Amino acid sequence: MSVYIDVWHRTHPLTPEAHARFLDYYGRSVVGPPSAYFDVVGGFRYTDGPSNEDFALYRYESMAKIEESMMSFGGDRDFVSATEALFAEIEIEETRGIAIHAPYSSDERIDQIISENPDAENPRRYVRIVRTSGGTGRVRAFEALALLTDQIEKAGTARLVTSFFYLVGPVMDLVELWLLPEGAIEWPRGDDGGDAELTAELARIAPERERRGLEPTPFSKLR
């Protein structure tokens, strides 16, 4: 089973130029070079809320690969030089969580959407939903989310790219990443195809903490 690291950033000063410079550095110096340890399947900036936030989704074959990757950090002098130059002018907050797939999700979902290779000049839009759920309610939350996913996909509202939960990090969170239909820029208001009773149950056992729109960064494989 693949293991993921969900890495999110906030840059200061709060200007479009500072964030754009950070993303350029990140694409060229962090995720651009070939890696023996990970595959960066997604990189996204938010289309709503603060304009200085983004996240990247790293995929590893195993926890052992994560350890190897961390041990190799700082070994590339070009990377170190580029990082020192950026950090001299821009402040970057970075938070990481180690995660695995929810039972109703899989690597195949991500790989299928990557393989579709849409028009690079018109990347599709995505939505990130974060729910809070833990303890004995989480098993039922997974069951309910599997049913809700089927309903939303059959309605043509969106396609689930992946759903994961954290082993290290915000362990009460469940994260869903959805792909909107071509041309859509936001989740529809009102009826999205989900059963009302099921939605009400999830509001009780796995309430939403965040729902934000996304657009891929230039280095994202999910486009």
pLDDT in tens, 168-203: 999 999 999 999 999 999 999 889 999 999 999 999
Residue 4 has a pLDDT of 98
φ, ψ at 63 (rounded to 5°): -65, -30
Report the mean per-residue pLDDT for the chain.
93
Among residues 136, 125, 124, 148, the alpha carbon closest in space to that of 208 is found at 148
Domain 3-99 has CATH 3.30.70.100: yes
Q: Where are the domains of the chain?
A: 3-99, 117-216
> What span, in angstroms and rounded, lies between the C-alpha atoms of 2 and 72?
20
DSSP 70: H
> What span, in angstroms and rounded, lies between the C-alpha atoms of 94 and 170?
14
pLDDT band for 74, please (50, 70, 90 cuts).
low
Q: What share of the chain is helix, strand, coil (3-state, %, to 5)?
A: 35, 30, 35
Instruction: Answer whether 3-99 and 117-216 agree in fold.
Output: yes
Domain 117-216 has CATH 3.10.180.10: no
Say which residues have a Cβ less than 8 Å from residue 176's Cβ, sequence separation at least 6: 128, 129, 130, 131, 145, 160, 162, 163
> What span, in angstroms and rounded, lies between the C-alpha atoms of 139 and 206?
11
> What span, in angstroms and rounded, lies between the C-alpha atoms of 205 and 174?
12
pLDDT in tens, 95-135: 999 999 999 999 999 999 999 977 777 889 999 999 999 88
Percent above pLDDT 70 for the chain:
99
Q: What is the pTM of this model?
A: 0.94
